[in-house]
């Protein structure tokens, strides 16, 4: 028995009491602390070692304000504090004391009848590991992992495994991406698209390759509203399928193909395709045209929508944003913001273009700030059309296309 099956906001006094009554022992995924971590270097080093050991292994919870004997909880010892300043202090120590930072760390204060609080600290399994302590004091520059007996310093062989997880994860991500693109190009997808020309956007939580959540798919959850297909204000239709949730856009009738779709997988991966992004008829008189004005704004706006929506249902950073174009050989790519002039358009020289991934550690609320994180990706889209960089950022670095 532990708490990991519960969302952090679902944990209350009754759930904590069940730990005591069930004599739920400390495991690899849960640890009990009677008292708060102090401010001394030693105490801060202990705290950083604890949370990094969870992040470097499988993640877990630290329950602060719970007495335990031999690792078995015996009673509450609520902490008599204002929890908000303490939560802020712990977050700041974690932010400055580890390299790289742990993203998704969350702390909840559970108020106890009779007074005081118990703090629940949830540490996610990290996909940017291993984390080491960089704060001066005991444990400086050390790595920690975790077993059922508690935290420990991993051996050289274990450290090698930790360091190798990142390349292994990158390989799995790459395999997933190109498997999905091959299926899209071969029409092995849930809907019939309007054309073989497509913009494909993947937003992938790195946790997706090691976990599977229960998506909130009930009739009152309205999840389809939060995940419209790229290029659409809302979904024209939606359905639950074996992969998760499918939303579609733009079919004027039951026998007509769709403009695009979005598949939200149970793992949190978002795959969305737009097959109506080209102008023109594909003839010498009216060649196919793709505009940076539409493409860049769509990438920024919709990836931000999906990242924010994923966060709201419990998926934590880091995320990876991936963009591909298929069926675009000889398509003109225009940077004009009004009208079209020959010197403003380049020609895409291959049928499929797969741009480099962008890792997102934090998702700002402001889309124009978010656009700055995608600038290397947008520069690559300009490179594909013969430009050295995208002209869509002004001299101050602000993204100039409308994404509100």
Q: What is the CATH number of the domain that holds 24?
A: 3.30.950.30
Q: Is residue 404 part of a domain?
A: no
Judge if 34 and 136 occupy the same domain: yes
The Cβ of residue 26 has, within 10 Å, a number of other Cβ atoms equal to 19
DSSP-derived secondary structure for 313-381:
TT--S-EEEEEEEES-TT-EEE--SSS--GGGEEE--SSEEEPPPEEES---S-HHHHHHHTHHHHHHH
State both tokens at 3. Answer: 């708490």
Answer whether the bond into residue 57 is a cis peptide, omega within 30°.
no
Answer whether the bond into residue 102 is a cis peptide, omega within 30°.
no
Judge if 182 and 45 occupy the same domain: no
Which residue has 């809907």 as its token pair?
Answer: 191
Judge if 251 and 147 occupy the same domain: no
Domain count, the chain: 2
Query: Are the CB atoms for 210 and 275 separated by under 8 Å?
Result: no
State both tokens at 327. Answer: 């069926």
Q: Is residue 254 part of a domain?
A: yes
- pLDDT of res. 340: 47
Please state the pTM of the whole predicted model: 0.73
Q: Is residue 289 part of a domain?
A: yes
Judge if 206 and 324 occupy the same domain: yes
Q: Is residue 402 part of a domain?
A: no
> Rounded distance, CA 124 to CA 105, Å?
6
> Rounded distance, CA 334 to CA 231, Å?
18
Cα distances from 385 to residues 126, 231, 348, 380, 388, in angstroms, run 37, 21, 6, 9, 9
Backbone angles phi, psi at 156, to 5 degrees: -60, -40
Local structure of residue 123 (DSSP, 8 states): E
Q: Is residue 3 part of a domain?
A: no
The runs of H, that is alpha helices, within 194-287 are 223-226
Cα distances from 133 to residues 51, 101, 142, 323, in angstroms, run 10, 10, 6, 35
Answer whether the bond into residue 130 is a cis peptide, omega within 30°.
yes
> Rounded distance, CA 169 to CA 171, Å?
5
Judge if 181 and 92 occupy the same domain: no
Euclidean distance between the first and the last CA atom of the chain, given in angstroms as a whole number: 45
Q: Identify the domain containing residue 141 by its residue range.
A: 8-154
Cα distances from 55 to residues 47, 86, 252, 289, 350, in angstroms, run 12, 21, 49, 47, 42
- pLDDT of res. 341: 46
Judge if 318 and 378 occupy the same domain: yes
Q: What is the pLDDT along the chain (404 residues), one digit of tens a residue?
A: 578 778 788 899 999 999 999 999 998 889 999 999 999 988 998 999 999 999 888 888 999 999 999 989 999 999 999 999 999 999 999 989 998 888 888 899 999 998 999 999 999 888 777 888 987 655 567 888 888 778 888 877 777 776 766 677 788 889 999 999 999 999 999 999 989 999 999 999 988 877 666 788 887 888 999 999 999 999 999 999 999 999 999 876 667 789 999 999 999 999 999 999 998 888 888 889 999 999 999 999 999 999 999 988 888 888 999 999 999 999 999 887 755 444 567 899 999 999 999 988 889 999 999 999 999 999 999 999 999 999 999 999 999 999 88
Q: Is residue 193 part of a domain?
A: yes
What is residue 127's three-state secondary structure? coil
Judge if 331 and 368 occupy the same domain: yes
Q: How far is CA 189 from the centre of its chain?
A: 24
Judge if 299 and 204 occupy the same domain: yes
């Amino acid at each position: 028995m532990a708490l990991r099956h519960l969302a952090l906001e679902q944990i209350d006094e009754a759930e904590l009491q069940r730990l005591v009554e069930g004599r739920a022992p400390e495991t690899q995924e849960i640890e009990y602390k009677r008292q708060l971590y102090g401010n001394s270097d030693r105490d801060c080093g202990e705290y950083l070692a604890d949370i990094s050991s969870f992040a470097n292994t499988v993640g877990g919870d630290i329950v602060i304000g719970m007495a335990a004997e031999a690792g078995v909880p015996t009673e509450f010892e609520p902490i008599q504090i204002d929890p908000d300043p303490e939560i802020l202090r712990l977050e700041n120590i974690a932010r400055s004391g580890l390299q790289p930072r742990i993203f998704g760390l969350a702390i909840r204060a559970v108020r106890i009848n009779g007074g005081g609080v118990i703090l629940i600290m949830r540490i996610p399994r990290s996909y940017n590991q291993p984390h080491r302590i960089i704060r001066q004091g005991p444990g400086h520059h050390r790595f920690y992992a975790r077993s059922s007996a508690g935290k420990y310093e991993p051996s050289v062989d274990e450290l090698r495994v930790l360091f190798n997880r990142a390349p292994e994860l990158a390989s799995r991500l790459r395999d997933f991406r190109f498997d999905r693109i091959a299926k899209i190009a071969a029409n092995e997808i849930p809907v019939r698209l309007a054309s073989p020309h497509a913009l494909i956007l993947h937003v992938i939580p790195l946790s997706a390759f090691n976990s599977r959540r229960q998506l909130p798919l009930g009739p009152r959850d309205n999840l389809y509203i939060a995940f419209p297909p790229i290029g659409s204000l809302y979904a024209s239709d939606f359905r639950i399928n074996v992969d998760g949730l499918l939303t579609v856009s733009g079919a004027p009738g039951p026998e007509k193909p769709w403009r695009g779709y979005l598949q939200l997988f149970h793992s949190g991966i978002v795959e969305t395709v737009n097959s109506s992004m080209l102008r023109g008829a594909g003839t010498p008189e009216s060649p196919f045209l793709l505009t940076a004005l539409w493409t860049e704004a769509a990438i920024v706006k919709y990836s931000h929508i999906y990242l924010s929506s994923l966060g709201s249902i419990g998926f934590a950073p880091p995320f990876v944003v991936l963009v591909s174009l298929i069926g675009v050989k000889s398509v003109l790519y225009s940077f004009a913001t009004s009208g079209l002039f020959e010197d403003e358009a380049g020609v895409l020289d291959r049928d499929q273009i797969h741009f480099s991934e962008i890792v997102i550690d934090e998702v700002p609320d402001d889309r124009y700030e978010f656009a700055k994180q995608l600038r290397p990706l947008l520069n690559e889209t300009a490179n594909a059309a013969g430009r050295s960089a995208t002209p869509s950022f002004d001299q101050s670095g602000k993204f100039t296309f409308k994404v509100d």
